[in-house]
A and B are shown apart, each in its own frame.
Chain A
Amino acid sequence: MSPRVLIVDDEAYVRLLIEQTLEDLEDDGVELLAASNGEEALELIKESPPELVFLDVMMPKKDGIEVCRTLKHELGVSNVYIIMLTAKGQEFDKRSAEEAGADEYITKPFDPDELYAKALEVLGLKPVG
């Protein structure tokens, strides 16, 4: 089965940005999925857990930390690598993110090259060229 990456952000343009950033991965058979809120994300993950999730922290209804906690602690989904996306200047409680089970975090505005490299690393793929 092809590896899957889930992008969760309530801002459509951020999803679009990350999808575009990771577009090259699709040539390696990686499937990119997107969700616009925490609940939708949880549904998708329950159905079939992706290898990697980019998870926005600040989202209405269910924020990123809650999604993370539900996944890792309530649903017991352990083999998903979770990268939290936090906005620069936004108050972000690193400790509660760690406790919730986030693997690491990237600050927005993110560097597209860094994001791509991170995805390659987590998926165990080699950079092209």
Chain B
Amino acid sequence: MIPLEVPLHRLLRRGDLESLLAKFQALLPDGELALLGTDGRVVVGGGIWPEGELRRLMAQVSRDQCLHTADLLLQPLVVRSQLAGALAVRGLEGQRPEPCYGEQVLGCLQQGLTLLLSQALEARDLGRETLDRYREINLLYTIGEAISGRLDPDEILQLTLQEAKRVIHATVGMVRLSSLQVTADGEQEMEVKASFGDVSDGKVSGELVDQVISQVCQSGRPAIVNKLPTQVDDTSRLICAPLKTRDQVVGVILLGRPEGQPEFAAGDEKLLTALAGQAANAIETARLHQEEVNRQRLEEELAIGRQIQLSLLPEACPVVPGWEFAAVYRPATQVGGDLYDFLEFPGDPRQIGLVIADVTGKGVPAALFMALCRTVVRVNSNRDQGPAAALMQANQFIARDNRPGLFLSAFYAILDSETGRLVYSSAGHNWPLWLRSAAGEIEELAAHGIVLGLFRDIQLEERAIEVGPGDLLVFYTDGVPEAMNGAGEMFGEGRLQAVVGSDPEASSQQVAQAILQAVEAFTGDIPPSDDLTLFVLKRQRS
């Protein structure tokens, strides 16, 4: 007969048993009573008992039936069809006990004890279940407290694994998290983020383990494998639960035991799943926090970059008799690297330097590079040399210790405000437009040359024109022609020229605004990805 798993002394209090037995003992003056455990040991009972014989008799109990010997009677106690123990009666002075006591008294005690035992067993089951739930809550509480506020995913996983090891005993364990890498089969690769025990090859890896992990990832449900075919001492029992955020499995937590240890049970699965859920949520929170931090950092960087950039642009257009200037600068959502500048030459006030440039890159690095370039161009322009020589000289400085990937396109012109003569040079920049009032035509101020900062020695072309009365010049950066609409189409040089040529009598301010409006009408709600910078100058007719 299968013995009850729980020993008697765990189900009923010794004190209660002693007093119960004492009461019945009073009804049996010619014998002694004892309560035996399933192994035949005396749990409660006075006097000296032949323990060897009791053990032997106990082993013979097969049904709910009395066993007799010459001076002993054994009445088994059966609860839930399992043997919980037995009542033993011993006749005094070697007498056969039964006739003296009568089966009724004994039967009564047996029934009473059986009832008490089954009630105690039920209470115990309830208690076990409550304790399991309690452990679960306590675990979640502990892990919640341990990982809340932690923002390092690796630390969260390490803590989770530690806690899992503590409550679900295992010899090996690891957490694998989806990485951004995708394997050749198109599956997302998983990285081991935390581990304990020997998780080297062959221990908790290999095809079968991968299959279990893959199944857990796909189903989003935990799994237990208690018989993994392995070498002796290797992990043969496996429990795996998904790290799930909302409906997405981001990883798994895996524990293992060798064959000699107990199998993983449903309760372990429940605990591990709860733990994994907590960890996944904490990781998700950490990720969201990181995103927010990054966003804030970007925003700060943007603000700094913007500040630098704005501080470098001229506060106002120059006031030159016979000429009108207008400028438009519309920053992109990200800080770009557009720059324009008007230079004065103290020795020759009739001359005005006109610079427009566009540095590569975005954000603070672009803004800083732009500041450097502006200074270098200024320093080199303030000499008695033409625009091409000034730009080539500036290039020497910029290219000398420039970081790779940073360079700029620039257009530099020197205007004699009295004669209208404009000498210019382009370093890979968009050619400005020249609206010739007399002919009613638009020309580009073409000049060949490559961008500054890439090579130490470059050659730039220098050209000159005469700007006549009523003529208009438009300097701009690529933000104008490359402005894009929702269909991915660019504004283009054609549209720009059409706006510039649409009204030869318009003031420079009107033209600048017309270009901006045309670009904005074209792009609609699409946020500008690049700065839009332009300035316009017009020679008055009289």
Asked if A and B bind, the verdict is yes
- A residues bordering B, Cβ < 8 Å? 2, 13, 16-17, 19-21, 23, 26-27, 31-33, 109-112
B38 vs chain A, min Cβ distance (A): 14
Complex CA–CA separation, A109 to B133 (angstroms): 12
Is B134's CB under 8 angstroms from A17's CB? yes
Is A20's CB under 8 angstroms from B138's CB? no
Which chain A residue has the least Cβ–Cβ distance from B137? A109
Residues in chain A near residue B134, CB distance under 8 A: 17, 109, 112
B122 vs chain A, min Cβ distance (A): 12
Is B138's CB under 8 angstroms from A17's CB? no
Residues in chain B near residue A20, CB distance under 8 A: 124, 127-128, 130-131
With contacts A31-B14, A31-B15, A111-B142 taken as known, whether A16 is within 8 angstroms of B137 at the C-beta atoms is: no
Selected from B7, B126, B130, B138, the residue in CB contact (under 8 A) with A109 is B138
Residues in chain A near residue B131, CB distance under 8 A: 17, 20-21, 112
> Count of B residues near A, CB < 8 Å?
19
Residues in chain A near residue B246, CB distance under 8 A: none
Using a CB-CB cutoff of 8 Å, which residues 114-167 of chain B contact chain A? 123-124, 126-128, 130-131, 134-135, 137-138, 141-142
Residues in chain B near residue A110, CB distance under 8 A: 138
Is A109's CB under 8 angstroms from B141's CB? yes
Complex CA–CA separation, A20 to B127 (angstroms): 6
With contacts A26-B9, A111-B142 taken as known, whether A16 is within 8 angstroms of B14 at the C-beta atoms is: no
Is A23's CB under 8 angstroms from B130's CB? no
Selected from B10, B13, B14, B142, the residue in CB contact (under 8 A) with A23 is B10
With contacts A2-B14, A31-B13, A31-B14 taken as known, whether A112 is within 8 angstroms of B126 at the C-beta atoms is: no
A to B CB contacts below 8 Å, 30 in the list:
A2-B14, A13-B130, A16-B123, A16-B126, A16-B130, A17-B130, A17-B131, A19-B127, A20-B124, A20-B127, A20-B128, A20-B131, A23-B10, A26-B7, A26-B10, A27-B7, A27-B9, A31-B13, A31-B14, A31-B15, A32-B13, A33-B13, A109-B137, A110-B138, A111-B138, A111-B142, A112-B131, A112-B134, A112-B135, A112-B138
Residues in chain B near residue A27, CB distance under 8 A: 7, 9-10
Residues in chain B near residue A26, CB distance under 8 A: 7, 9-10
Which chain A residue has the least Cβ–Cβ distance from B139? A111
Sample of 10 more A-B contacts, CB < 8 Å, known A16-B126, A20-B128, A112-B134: A13-B130, A16-B123, A16-B130, A17-B131, A17-B134, A20-B131, A26-B10, A31-B13, A32-B13, A112-B138
Complex CA–CA separation, A19 to B135 (angstroms): 14
Complex CA–CA separation, A111 to B134 (angstroms): 9
B126 vs chain A, min Cβ distance (A): 7
Complex CA–CA separation, A109 to B124 (angstroms): 20
Residues in chain B near residue A2, CB distance under 8 A: 14
Residues in chain B near residue A13, CB distance under 8 A: 130
Which chain B residue has the least Cβ–Cβ distance from A48? B15
Residues in chain A near residue B14, CB distance under 8 A: 2, 31
Residues in chain A near residue B128, CB distance under 8 A: 20
Residues in chain B near residue A19, CB distance under 8 A: 127
Task: Provide the B7-43 mask, 1 if CB < 8 A to any CB of A, else 0.
Answer: 1011001110000000000000000000000000000
User: Which of B13, B123, B131 has the most chain A CB atoms closer than 10 A to its own CB?
Assistant: B131
User: Which of A13, A20, A110 has the most chain B CB atoms closer than 10 A to its own CB?
Assistant: A20
Minimum-distance CB pairs A-B, first 9: A20-B127, A20-B131, A16-B127, A26-B10, A109-B138, A26-B9, A17-B134, A17-B131, A109-B141
Task: Provide the B299-327 mask, 1 if CB < 8 A to any CB of A, else 0.
Answer: 00000000000000000000000000000
Complex CA–CA separation, A66 to B84 (angstroms): 42
Complex CA–CA separation, A32 to B10 (angstroms): 9
Complex CA–CA separation, A110 to B142 (angstroms): 10
Complex CA–CA separation, A109 to B15 (angstroms): 30
Which chain A residue has the least Cβ–Cβ distance from B138? A109
Complex CA–CA separation, A20 to B134 (angstroms): 11
Residues in chain B near residue A31, CB distance under 8 A: 13-15
Complex CA–CA separation, A23 to B385 (angstroms): 98
Complex CA–CA separation, A92 to B135 (angstroms): 24
Using a CB-CB cutoff of 8 Å, which residues 96-124 of chain B contact chain A? 123-124
Complex CA–CA separation, A31 to B9 (angstroms): 9
A73 vs chain B, min Cβ distance (A): 28
Complex CA–CA separation, A19 to B10 (angstroms): 10
Complex CA–CA separation, A109 to B135 (angstroms): 9
Using a CB-CB cutoff of 8 Å, which residues 445-485 of chain B contact chain A? none
Complex CA–CA separation, A110 to B141 (angstroms): 10
Residues in chain A near residue B10, CB distance under 8 A: 23, 26-27
Residues in chain A near residue B13, CB distance under 8 A: 31-33
Complex CA–CA separation, A17 to B130 (angstroms): 7
Residues in chain B near residue A17, CB distance under 8 A: 127, 130-131, 134
Residues in chain A near residue B127, CB distance under 8 A: 16-17, 19-20
Complex CA–CA separation, A120 to B340 (angstroms): 81
Residues in chain A near residue B123, CB distance under 8 A: 16
Residues in chain B near residue A109, CB distance under 8 A: 134, 137-138, 141
B42 vs chain A, min Cβ distance (A): 13
Residues in chain B near residue A112, CB distance under 8 A: 131, 134-135, 138
Residues in chain A near residue B130, CB distance under 8 A: 13, 16-17, 20
B312 vs chain A, min Cβ distance (A): 58
Complex CA–CA separation, A102 to B165 (angstroms): 33
Which chain A residue has the least Cβ–Cβ distance from B131? A20
Residues in chain A near residue B137, CB distance under 8 A: 109
A37 vs chain B, min Cβ distance (A): 19
Complex CA–CA separation, A33 to B13 (angstroms): 8
Complex CA–CA separation, A2 to B138 (angstroms): 31
Residues in chain B near residue A21, CB distance under 8 A: 131
Complex CA–CA separation, A32 to B124 (angstroms): 14
Complex CA–CA separation, A36 to B135 (angstroms): 23
